[in-house]
Structure 1
Amino acid sequence: MRFERNMWKKIAAMVLAIVLTVTLALPAATGQASAATTETGIMLDGRKLDNAQAITVDGTTMVPIRIVSEQLGHSVNWNQATGRIQIGSAPASLTLTLGSRTAASYSGSITMQQAPFLRSNTTYVPLRFVGSQMGLAVRWEQSSGTVYLQTQLEAPSLPTTPPTAPSTPPADSNRASINSISFSDNRLTISADSSVKPEGSVLRGPDRIVVDLPDSSFGPGLLQNQTASTGQVVTLHVTGSSAVKQVRYSLFSQSPSTVRVVIDLNRSTGHKLYTRGNLVLVDLNDDGAAAPIGTDGKKVVVIDPGHGDQDPGGIGVTGKREKDMVLSVSLKVAALLKQESNIDLIMTRTDDTFIPLDGRVKIAQDAKADVFLSIHGNAASSNAGGTETFYADTKRSKALSDTIQKHVLAATGFRDRGSKQANYLVIRKTTMPAALLEIGFMTNANEEKLMMQDAFQQKVAKAIVAGIKEYLANS
């Protein structure tokens, strides 16, 4: 992990970044700008922010704090009596005062082009202050009247104008390809196609865990069809974790090519960083005191939601996509398996990214999984329907397939298409018991309708977990 030579700049940038991430429900009277203003649209990371406007005051563009509150959502302390906003905690704290152009920080004062002010219960700060102090690339397009903001990963000294063309690092046969980043069971899992040596650190204000992967770059599909240029940030949303808010990742550096992964925390917590084969794991269970996966008698289960990103899988009669349905079901399975104290869970994907078939196999192999289950939805003619489960190796996997089929069929109520042998790559190349489940047919109007319903998905997820538990108990 590389630290900036000037550590305060790094800390200040992170503290200041909070200013952009919080919605303040403040009274609308203090520090209100009185000059004539004009309003413009805001684009953040390539998407238009609805109901978010930048305001130009005396030639200075001001942006609302709330525009990226959904991205990081940190809290601040607001003193209504003094009109002061304190971001972070001492010593790495910064204080803004409504109506004052001076921001107070640990290293001294910072002068802004315009003072922060309130309008319609929203706090505004100068755009250039955002760009220079908070690690956001900033661009103003006069022809369309649009402000463009680009988030960066822990990089406070970026240029204020993004490059005119993306810069992609040259190919390097010695560079590891990062093919999967997922978070499940309070554990971050990073899968590479070759060995990597992770470098980890903990940063405060706000709390986060940073993992650098030197001599690595992104594999196809991981950036969701976005250009893998330096600074392009992808956010992996996390649910069901009291400690983790979200995960962000980016190609942080080109010399050497380095992928950076940041775990944004809701609170300070311990963690354990280790490798298993070509997997990099960051385990937050028991504040990092939990044993490595697959130890202490625990079984490792890998759940593989099929398809993803540019590969939608089957398309339903109403246009619904298989990749979305199976991800939703798989996340419900993950939430249930997390409650099983004798099971360690690994997910091949937890968002809309694509992982090559061999990459899915490699995750299971590196994890030394006891069970691998790939979850799918079928597609054929409108008359086809039913639930079926596949296995490749009779001796190794038929019992798992039979058990999953029994439980899921009872949950769906669809026609029984059986547990049968097939030659699908993900169940043929894996060396542990492996099955591929087809819940139902996306091309069957009734089955598609049911498979997109939350209650039905939960019922199927419970059946899948029951099948896995029965198989493990009998194996």
Structure 2
Amino acid sequence: MKLGNHMWKKTAAVFMAVMLLATLVLPGSIRHAAAAEAGTRIVLDGQTIEGAEPIVIAGTTMVPIRIVSEQLGYSVNWNQNSGRITIGSSSSPPLILTLGSLTAESANHTIAMEQAPFVRSNTTYVPLRFVGSQMGLGVKWEQASQTVYLQSRLEEPAAPATPAVPVPSTPVGSAPVDSVPVVSTPSSAASIDSISFSDKRLTISAGASVTPKSTVLSNPDRIVVDLPNSAFGPGLLQKENLSLGKVATLPVSNSAVVKQVRYSLFSESPSTVRVVLDLNRSVGYNLYTQGNLVIVDLNDDGIAPPAGTNGKKIVVIDPGHGDHDSGGVGNGVKEKGVVLNVGLKVAALLKQEPNIDLIMTRSDDTFVTLDGRAQLANNAEADVYVSIHANMASSSSAGGTETFYADAARSKSLSDTIQKHVLEATGFRDRGSKQANYLVIRKTNMPAALVEIGFLSNKQEAALMTQDSFQQKVAEAIVAGIKEYLKLN
């Protein structure tokens, strides 16, 4: 189901919607203090921000704007002559604060503040309530430890949904809301099993059909995708605590457009997973579903057709294991790291192939279940699936390269071709192309192969597999095998 192309421009209206989130009510103990007590600190997403001690002025808690905002990826510029602080970037409507002024400016609009910004010890302070509303933060005060907790929840869309971190409604002077509820996954919710980014394409794999909704926000630029009636599946939950309001990050490297991808359980009623692409600049995108996949395609500013159209072949690359599942560990080397490095190198090469659309089962140190990997490839209606692994044995003398297939009629030719090229690249002993009943190649509907590059239990082979040049050579061999099998040479 294709949901259409989106070519968005930043607007002041969207920015103002983010700015005017519900104000945060802090307990009287912080609002009415005459000054910050010794040891008062700010904690952002579980990490103490060094040098960011809050100050309380006339009952208003003030925080250092540069330290807090730059931790969140905002640019901050200070004009000493005019006393003006500009937050944002020159490519989007900036937010402008002025020392001593109770109003901030954005695209010809003004936003009131309860306390004017001021400078102390070369540090510019702004009201904590302003930081919370402007930057979409959850804010919590813990009296016992004299700590301000900031949670970079995923941003509210222009039409607000249930907030990821509940806004405290405690009356002034009574106990604050200190805890975030633990999520119990609704049985009716579709499981979100994997999230990956490759080839300017975000791929979200779900256990059932979902209908995504998207919003574009600016200052900074980002694309917000909500997945109603969904919850995190066991693979993503094993990586970390993803209860309500907890935010996980998918790093993105070598992208001129995307800084990172963040995701969280945004709402429990209904259960909704939210995914945010943090951008370096505004960009068009195409949001569509393919089977149980949700795809956000940034190629050609969103005007590129869906994966697999115009005769392109869809190739799924699956670096094995991930996160808590290290795979084999031999001679101090973890399989999950080696195969991810090789997989990312394969991805970089496949991105250069005009007749191939690439999908990765994982693009960082996350875990995807075996069923989830096969399901992703099946939903994508892939033409080829290649799973990348490294071997282990009880004997340190065991060694060599081997490739497996499950269904001979469907996959033996692909396995034979991959084995031929990778063997030439490694120079290891030829252990052959052979049949095996591994789940990921048994449950995939397309030609599928699982390649074991070499043995981590073999000291010489393990040492080679950690070398960047060797990994690149193997990646080139895998790509050569795929291209030969698909007759794209």
What TM-score, normalized to structure 1? 0.84
| Counterpart amino acid of residue 112 in structure 2 | I
Q: After superposition, what is the alpha-carbon deviation per residue over 1:199-225, rounded to whole angstroms, capped at 9, x for unaligned?
A: 123223332222211111111121453
1:110 corresponds in structure 2 to 112
1:20 corresponds in structure 2 to none
1:83 aligns with 2:97: no
| Counterpart amino acid of residue 159 in structure 1 | V
1:102 positional shift: 4.6
Say which SS state the counterpart of residue 446 (structure 1) adopts: helix
Is this contact kept in 2: 1:390–1:419, CA < 8 A?
yes
1:366 positional shift: 1.0
1:425 aligns with 2:439: yes
1:111 positional shift: 2.3
| Counterpart amino acid of residue 115 in structure 1 | P
1:262 aligns with 2:262: no
1:360 aligns with 2:368: no
2:306 corresponds in structure 1 to 292
Gaps of 5+ in 1: 2-6, 18-34
Superposition pairs for residues 308-347 of structure 1, below 5 Å?
308-318=322-332, 320-347=333-360
1:134 corresponds in structure 2 to 135
Say which SS state the counterpart of residue 234 (structure 2) adopts: coil
CA distance in 2 between counterparts of 1:441 and 1:41 reads 49
Shift of the 81–353 alpha-carbon distance from structure 1 to 2, 3 Å rule, reads same
Q: Of the candidates 172, 181, 186, which is equivalent to residue 171 of structure 1?
A: 186
CA distance in 1 between counterparts of 2:16 and 2:407 reads 57
| Counterpart amino acid of residue 462 in structure 2 | E
Shift of the 113–275 alpha-carbon distance from structure 1 to 2, 3 Å rule, reads same
Shift of the 327–297 alpha-carbon distance from structure 1 to 2, 3 Å rule, reads same
Deviates more, 1:252-261 or 1:338-347: 252-261
1:44 corresponds in structure 2 to 44
Say which SS state the counterpart of residue 95 (structure 1) adopts: strand
2:363 corresponds in structure 1 to 350
1:451 corresponds in structure 2 to 465
CA distance in 2 between counterparts of 1:397 and 1:162 reads 57
Is this contact kept in 1: 2:313–2:355, CA < 8 A?
yes
CA distance in 2 between counterparts of 1:220 and 1:294 reads 29
1:373 positional shift: 0.5
1:243 positional shift: 1.9
Say which SS state the counterpart of residue 295 (structure 1) adopts: coil
2:70 corresponds in structure 1 to 69
Shift of the 145–346 alpha-carbon distance from structure 1 to 2, 3 Å rule, reads same
1:303 positional shift: 0.4
| Counterpart amino acid of residue 84 in structure 2 | R
2:319 corresponds in structure 1 to 305
Is this contact kept in 2: 1:42–1:52, CA < 8 A?
no
CA distance in 2 between counterparts of 1:267 and 1:406 reads 43
1:391 aligns with 2:405: yes
Q: Of the candidates 2, 11, 16, which is equivalent to residue 15 of structure 2?
A: 11
Q: After superposition, what is the alpha-carbon deviation per residue over 1:336-362, rounded to whole angstroms, capped at 9, x for unaligned?
A: 111111100001111222211111111
- How many residue pairs align between the two structures? 448
Shift of the 214–416 alpha-carbon distance from structure 1 to 2, 3 Å rule, reads same
1:228 positional shift: 2.9
Shift of the 378–296 alpha-carbon distance from structure 1 to 2, 3 Å rule, reads same
Say which SS state the counterpart of residue 222 (structure 1) adopts: helix
1:159 corresponds in structure 2 to 167
Say which SS state the counterpart of residue 367 (structure 2) adopts: coil
CA distance in 1 between counterparts of 2:424 and 2:257 reads 36
Larger RCO, structures 1/2 (Cα 8 Å, 6+ apart): 2
CA distance in 1 between counterparts of 2:454 and 2:301 reads 40
CA RMSD of aligned residues (A): 3.1
Is this contact kept in 2: 1:361–1:429, CA < 8 A?
yes
1:127 positional shift: 3.8
Is this contact kept in 1: 2:251–2:259, CA < 8 A?
yes
CA distance in 2 between counterparts of 1:271 and 1:395 reads 39
Shift of the 224–335 alpha-carbon distance from structure 1 to 2, 3 Å rule, reads farther
CA distance in 2 between counterparts of 1:315 and 1:116 reads 55
CA distance in 2 between counterparts of 1:99 and 1:322 reads 57
2:173 corresponds in structure 1 to none
1:217 corresponds in structure 2 to 231
CA distance in 1 between counterparts of 2:51 and 2:363 reads 29
Is this contact kept in 1: 2:226–2:275, CA < 8 A?
yes
Is this contact kept in 2: 1:169–1:257, CA < 8 A?
no
Say which SS state the counterpart of residue 239 (structure 2) adopts: coil
CA distance in 2 between counterparts of 1:383 and 1:146 reads 56
Say which SS state the counterpart of residue 475 (structure 2) adopts: helix
| Counterpart amino acid of residue 380 in structure 2 | A
Q: After superposition, what is the alpha-carbon deviation per residue over 1:112-137, rounded to whole angstroms, capped at 9, x for unaligned?
A: 546343656x6544444423543222
Q: After superposition, what is the alpha-carbon deviation per residue over 1:285-338, rounded to whole angstroms, capped at 9, x for unaligned?
A: 1111112111111110000111122211112322x3221221122111111111
CA distance in 1 between counterparts of 2:43 and 2:426 reads 43
CA distance in 2 between counterparts of 1:229 and 1:396 reads 42
Shift of the 91–394 alpha-carbon distance from structure 1 to 2, 3 Å rule, reads closer
1:449 positional shift: 2.6
Gaps of 5+ in 2: 4-10, 22-34, 169-175
1:196 aligns with 2:210: yes
Say which SS state the counterpart of residue 334 (structure 1) adopts: helix
Deviates more, 1:125-134 or 1:363-372: 125-134
2:27 corresponds in structure 1 to none
CA distance in 2 between counterparts of 1:321 and 1:469 reads 29
CA distance in 2 between counterparts of 1:90 and 1:466 reads 42
